[in-house]
Structure 1
Amino acid sequence: MSAFEIIGGKKLKGEITPQGAKNEALQIISAVLLTEEKITISNIPDIVDVNKLIDLLKDLGVNVERISKDTYTFEAKNIDLEYLNSDKFKKKGGALRGSVMIVGPLLARFGKAYIPKPGGDKIGRRRLDTHFLGFEKLGAKFNYNPVDHFFSVDASDLKGTYMLLDEASVTGTANVVMAAVLAKGTTTIYNAACEPYLQQLCKMLNRMGAKISGIGSNLLTIEGVEKLGGTEHRMLPDMIEIGSFIGLAAMTKSEITIKNVAYEELGVIPEVFKRLGIKLERRGDDIFIPSQEVYEIETFIDGSILTIADAPWPGFTPDLLSIVLVVATQAKGSVLIHQKMFESRLFFVDKLIDMGAQIILCDPHRANVIGLGRRNQLRGISMTSPDIRAGVSLLIAALSAEGKSTIFNIEQIDRGYQDIDVRLQALGADIKRITVNE
C-alpha cells in the first residue's frame, strides 16, 4: 500500500499542464465499440480508471495500440461477446464504475449487453436509473440477477423515440446517445446533459457519421444511421484538475501558470474561484495565478453569506466543491458549501477540522466554512483519502499546512490524477510516495 508524505507550508512556483479529462475519456473510449473502423484518440490521461477501461476493451477483443504516452488507436473489429458472461468480466467490470459506459455502444451495434453492478467512489448513492430508463425507452429489455448482481440486456430492435430524462445525468445522456445513434428512426432527448465532455462525444460521433443536432443544449435530436466509421479525436484538458490547481496556488501563496486550459470550456469555474477572492488572469489559453497573502470571500449584494452550490452544466460542477471548501478555510470570510448531488461527499471535513479548520457540517449536504484569513495555519496530520476529489482536497490542505502530513489510500487519488506527485515536485512541493505496511 502506498501513501503520500508531505512537508507543507512551502510556496510553489512554475508552470503545470492539466491532463486530459478523465470524465470525457470514459465516454470517448467506450464509443470505439460503435464501429469496426480505426479510431485514434489523443490526450488520454494515464490514470487508473482509464487504464482499467482500456484493459477491459482489450479483453473484449478490441485491438489497442499505444502510439505515444497519451495517444492510442482502437479497432473494435472482432468483439468477443461471450467474454461478457465470464467471471473475469464480472470482477473487472464490477471494480470500475466507468464500465457501465460500454452498454450503450454494445446495445447499438450488437443488440445485447451484460453489465455487473459497477463500483467506484464511496460518495453516496449514484443511480443508474437514467441509463436504464433511457435504454428501455429505445426498446431494450433488462434482466437482473440479484445473486451475482449482474444485468443482461436485450436490444435486438432499438427504435428512436422521444424521452424526457429523469435527471440531466452526464453519463446517462452519453450512454443513451451512443445507443440511439444506430437505432431506427429519430430519438429526441430532453433534459439532456450539455457538459463540454458530452458535447465532445457528440461532435466525435458526428465525425464518425452520426446525425446529432442540438449539441450544447438540453434538447438533443438524433437521427439513426446504419453504421459509423473511424475518426480522430483529441480530448479536452481536465477542468477538475484546472480548478484543483487554482485552489492549490491560493492555499500555498504560490505563483503558478496553468497551461493550455481550453478557457472557453471552463464555464463558471474561474468566476467561482474569483468570488473566493482569488486573483487569476487569462493569458491566451493559460491561467496565471499570482502569489496572494490574503484572499477575501465576497458576500451577496445584500451582505448575506455567499453560498456556492453544485448544479448541472452550465452550473458549477460538483467535482470541485470539495476543492472550494478547502480553499475557503484559509480565506477571509465565510461561505456555505451546498453539495446537492451526493450525500456523502462532505464527510471528509472531519480531517480538515483535525488540521485546525473552522467548519460546521450542518448535514450531509451542507457545510459552513469560517475562513480565518490565515490567522491559524493548518497543521499536518495523518489521514486517509476517502475518494478521488476529497483525496486531492486533502492533498492541497497538506501542502499548505505546517509540518508533516501523511495521506493513506492514495490509490483513490491515482484513479483520477496522473503522476500528481511528480508534477507537484516540479513546482517545488515537498511530496514523496512511500510504501507502508497494511
Structure 2
Amino acid sequence: MRTIDLRGRELSAADMLAAVPRATQARAEALDTAARIVDDVRERGEEALREQAERFDGVVGHDLRVPAGHIEEALAGLDPEVRAALDEAIRRVRIASAAQVPASQVTRIGAGATITQRWQPVHRAGVYIPGGKAVYPSSVIMNVVPAQVAGVEQIALASPPQREQGGRVHPTILAAAGLLGITEVYAVGGAGAIGAFAYGVADIGLDPVDVLSGPGNNYVASAKRAVAGVVGTDSEAGATEILVVADAEADPRLIAADLVSQAEHDEQASAVLVTDSAELADRVAEEVRTQAAATRHTVRVAAALDGPQSAIVLVDDRAMAAAFSNAYAPEHLELHLTDAEAAASSFTSAGAVFVGDQTPVSLGDYMAGSNHVLPTGGQARYAPGLGAYTFLRPQQVVAYDRAALAEVRAGVVALAETEVLPAHGEAIEARFTA
C-alpha cells in the first residue's frame, strides 16, 4: 500500500478531495463500456444477453429465465448450517428495514384543508446479485427483504450464469431466493442485467421494473448511471471501499484483517487507513503484507492493495482525519479510536459507520441487521445506502373543501396573474361562479 502524507499542510475542501485515492481511469472506462452494453440489450434483447453470457461468463444455451425446479433443487440441497445463518440474517434485516418505513402523516393547514403525506411502494423491483469472483446469498437478503418490507408486489432477481454450474445461477443464490419466496429469477449478469431490468426483454418474459437495486463491480454501477431517468436506482454500489480511521492505541492486526477482508472482493476494491500515528501506520503496513500473503485470494488482494485506490494516509490530528474521511465519503467507515462512540458524530459522510474495533465491516456484510448495499465513489456525501425507502415514493394527497378553497381564492388568483398564467386563477373562479 502506498502512503499519502498530508501532515503539516493547510488543505482546502478542494485540496482534500484531490488527495482522495481513486481509480478514476477505471471508472471512466467502465462507464463507456457499460453504456454500450446497456444499449445493446435495449436494441437486441435476448440475442444481446446470450452473446454477453458467452463473452463474459463462458456460457451458451442456458435458461435465461430460471425454471422453478432449479430453485427447488437448490433449496433442498442447501447446507443446514448455511440455511440457519441465512434465516437469522433475514430476521435481523427484516427488523432493521421495518424501521425505515415512515408512517403516513396528516397535516391540517386549516379548517377543511389537509395534506396527507403517504409512502407508496413501487409496483415492480429488480434486484441484481453479483456472481463473478464470489457468491453472495447475503446480497439476496439485503435487496429482497427491504423491498418486501416496503410492500413491493413483484420482485425479479438476476444473477450471472455460472459456467461451473452448467449455465445455472449459483445454487446458494437460488436457495436464498427460495427462502424468500422469489420465483422470478434470471441467469443474466453484469451491465446487461441492469439494461434488461430497465428496458425489459419480452422474449424471456422480463417486464421493465420501476426500481432496480444491488451491488456489483464498476461496470454494474456505471450501468445504473446509464439507465438513470429510465428507471429508479439505488446508489451506484460499485467496487467495495473500506476506510479505517485509527489512533495510536489501535490494534494493527485487526485493522489489517479488515483491510484485507474487503480487498478480497475485487482487484478494484479500495482499502484506506487514515491515522495520525506514523508508528501505527508502519505496523499496519507490515501486518497487511503478512496477512495478504497468507489469505486464500492473495493475488486478488495484492492487486487491490497495490492499486491507486488504496493507501495509508497520514494526518496531523483527529480533525484532519475527520475532514479527510468526510471528503472521501467511504462506503464502509471503521472507527478504531479509544473514544469511538463519542467521535462518531464528527464523521458525517459514509455509507455505514462501524464504531469500535469489535464492529468490523464483515459483521455488516452478513449479520448486523444493517444493509450492505451502500454508495461508493464518494456518493455517500449525498446518497443513502439501500433500505426499504429505496422502494417507496412519498406522495402528497391534498384535500380542500369549498370553504377552505374560498379562504385562499384571492391569493391564488393574485399569484396566477403575477405569473401571467390567468387560466390558473380562472380554474379557481370557476368553482364560485354559476
Instruction: Point out the structure with the larger helix share.
Output: 2
Instruction: Point out the structure with the larger strand share.
Output: 1
What TM-score does the superposition give when structure 2 sets the normalisation length? Answer: 0.29
**Max radius of gyration: which structure?**
2
What TM-score does the superposition give when structure 1 sets the normalisation length? Answer: 0.29
